[in-house]
A and B are shown apart, each in its own frame.
Chain A
Amino acid sequence: MSRLIMFHGRECPHCRIMMPHVDRLEKETGVKIDRLEVWHNEKNADLMRSYRDVIEPKCGGQLRTPTFMNTETNDIICGEVEYETLKKWATK
């Protein structure tokens, strides 16, 4: 079963900008996105690192935040995007 994850950093401005989009998306579509903070939570950080081979090629060769990931399809979005782009990713 697919799991939608948003890896984010507490002090990452891009992540802060994306949070209202995630709120809206969950409200409008009913999908659930797990928001996992990675700089202050080592367990979440290790989980993000475990997907390094999938994330890095799509994120400039780095583990950037925010990263949106579908764990089943490995669909990845990196950084700030428009709401519609996020919605398309989440409801694919």
Chain B
Amino acid sequence: MCNDIHYGVKPPEVCPTCSVQKAYMEISSEEAQKTCDGTTSVMKKADFRQAIERFAEGNEFRVNPDQKRVETLLKGIFDNERNHGLKYCPCRLITKNFEEDLKLVCPCNFRIHETYKDKEDGECWCGLFVRRKNNE
């Protein structure tokens, strides 16, 4: 309805932009590519850093305060994008099944992982995101 393009293995039940339910139409990857080509540019590491900070804002998790760790991970994520096409987690290996490997694109759905779920000091597997403490 709002002309936003959602990228993933299946469309969202509710559009996060216009909040309309099941109002989507599938398009080919070629069409999506054509639409995006005119509007997107390559994301820089600093932009990605800001994007994950915004992603974590108001959530029960935050970007790991260990700056050195975050820098290492961001280098890996961007190396992976350059060498393997997408921002894959540097602490897990792709299987070469594209749909399956989408689950490894950062940020991943770590809230369902055993390293995060139901854990007071939970974190995603690589440690880029950590659960906030009460006073954070």
Contacts and interface: CB of A to CB of B under 8 A. Distances in A.
Interface residues of B, number: 24
Contacts of B90: 9-12, 39, 65
B72 A11 contact: yes
B96 to A, nearest CB: 7
Which secondary structure characterizes the binding site on chain A?
loop
A6 to B, nearest CB: 13
Contacts, number: 66
Interface string A56-79: 000010111100000000000001
B93 A60 contact: no
A48 B93 contact: yes
Given A39-B93, A40-B83, 18 more contacts: A7-B93, A11-B72, A11-B76, A12-B76, A12-B90, A13-B73, A13-B91, A14-B91, A14-B126, A38-B93, A39-B83, A39-B90, A40-B79, A49-B93, A49-B95, A52-B95, A63-B94, A65-B93
Most buried by B among A10, A39, A45, A52: A39
Interface string A1-32: 00000010111111110000000000000000
